[in-house]
Amino acid sequence: MGFALTLIYVAFVFLRPQELHPEYAIYQVMDVLGVVALVSSVFSILTGGSKPLLHGLEWRFGLAFILWSAFSVAAAVHWFGGAYNTLLLLSTSLFTFVLIMLNVSSRRRLVALLVVVWICVLALLAQAISAYYSDAEQSPFFILAKSRGSIDLMTDEGVAPPSPDDAAEDDASAQPIIVKRIKALGFLADPNDFAQALVCLIPLLWMAWRRHRPVRNVFLVLVPAATALWGILLTRSRGGMVALASVVVVALIYRLGPRLRRPVGITALAMTAPAFVGLFGYARADASSASRLEAWATGLQMLKWYPIWGVGSGFFTDHHERVAHSSFVQCFAETGVVGYYLWLACLLVSLMRVSSLANSTDNAEWAPWARLLVLSMVGFLVAALFLSRTTSPMLFFVVSLQAVYTAVAEGSGQDVRLPRFWWATVLGIELLSVILVWMTARAYY
């Protein structure tokens, strides 16, 4: 019963029926369903049901980060009621994380969960794409935004970017070009969030791929993937496109032999440095990118002011006019070095454990799915560089998938390793990421 209610809860997380029918919002559907599913799950476990596979450290760090986020509000703002309010705001992420960790205890249950999620996502895509191409003036599945260049215009048939002659005209008389950007509901109500979720979920479709089954592969993998790719394009999310390109690069690296995989991966990572150099010049010419770097600089100041617990989860905009537009900056600015360490540890421990399984050369049964989970996390992390989604349900969904898969693999006798000094690796990446943000902001100014 607990697993069935978990599937229903996750479906509600994506579909958000209470937003399509606001008259039901007063009943707090998500919180009630989450509590019922949690109680049912605990009761099922205590009465001899499927036991949770809590072998890894990911779930401990994830829960610790959520609790620290609530504490950061009480510590920084001196408002103990704010800690409770923060837990309420994070309840969707918390219930999603806990319910999946308690109930998904086999590969079959993992597949059932992904089937439910993809049915929901395809339903959202169908509504969003239909609204995009219809004559509807308003819809909860798209927004109207000013064009930011050729990326925004390339899916509008018959519309072209302004010519040089047009650009030479008086700016005061120029009319902005308005374009549609599709989105979904709830935590996917921003086009960038929708694109990030699609990038995370596309690799997981390949779990359904079977050799010599062309009909199955077309309908269960290729058609949904093509629909999601078109959806990413219609979101017009630059961060989503960069994340998608990163997933493709890592997937190609996994296609190499074990001897080439590591040096090629290190080389590809080193080649991202010129991208940061190009960012400085682009930021000076692009108002949106420039404002993001200004927010990064402000985030560094917040870390300097409140190094231990930050300014409080959700309080970034009390100190700056806009969000950080980086999950990493948002995290260390709002929760300090302690919260940032817990957050990175949750992500990196999960990634290191599933990567150890993905890099197994003699395991044709478990390694392929592990690689797909790595690609899913890569998609989230790259998009997270440009989005302030530190506590997004999508993050805890991806982490929980990795955690339960590695736990199931361990239960089947697979060797899932965590580096001996993993804690030092997390600490080093925490320090290095703050230094890189500081260097980027300083180079811009």
Alpha helices in 134-257 (DSSP H): 150-153, 164-167, 191-205, 214-217, 223-235, 238-254
Q: Looking at residue 162, what is its pLDDT?
A: 44
C-alpha–C-alpha distance, residues 343 and 332, integer Å:
9
Q: Which residues does 403 contact at the CB level (< 8 Å), separation at least 6?
A: 56, 58, 59, 101, 350, 353
From the number of C-beta atoms within 10 Å of its C-beta (0-12, 13-18, 19+), residue 325 rates as buried
Structure tokens given for 249: 């690069």
**What one-character DSSP code corresponds to residue 222?**
I
Q: Looking at residue 118, what is its pLDDT?
A: 96
Cα angle 110, 112, 115 (rounded to 5 degrees) comes to 110
- List C-alpha distances in Å: 414 to 49, 111, 354, 420: 24, 19, 11, 18
Does the pTM surpass 0.95? The reply is no
C-alpha–C-alpha distance, residues 388 and 306, integer Å:
19
**Domain boundary assignment for the chain:** 114-157+176-444
What is the distance in angstroms between the CA of the first residue and the CA of the last residue of the chain?
A: 57
Residue-level pLDDT, tens digit, the chain, 445 residues: 889 999 999 999 999 887 777 776 677 788 889 999 999 999 988 888 788 888 788 899 999 999 999 999 999 888 888 888 999 999 999 999 999 999 998 999 999 999 999 999 999 999 999 999 987 778 888 888 876 654 444 444 333 344 444 444 444 445 668 888 999 988 999 999 999 999 999 999 999 999 889 999 999 999 999 999 999 999 999 889 989 999 998 888 888 776 776 677 667 666 665 665 555 555 555 556 677 788 888 999 999 999 999 999 989 988 888 888 899 999 999 999 999 999 999 999 999 999 988 887 667 788 899 999 999 999 999 999 888 889 999 999 999 999 999 999 988 888 888 888 999 999 999 999 999 888 887 776 6
Do 229 and 202 touch, CB atoms closer than 8 A? yes
Q: Which residues does 108 contact at the CB level (< 8 Å), separation at least 6?
A: none
Do 123 and 16 touch, CB atoms closer than 8 A? no
Q: Looking at residue 408, what is its pLDDT?
A: 92
Query: What number of helices (H) and strands (E) belong to the chain?
Result: 20, 2
Alpha helices in 206-326 (DSSP H): 214-217, 223-235, 238-254, 258-270, 273-285, 287-305
Strand partners, 178: 146
Q: Looking at residue 173, what is its pLDDT?
A: 46
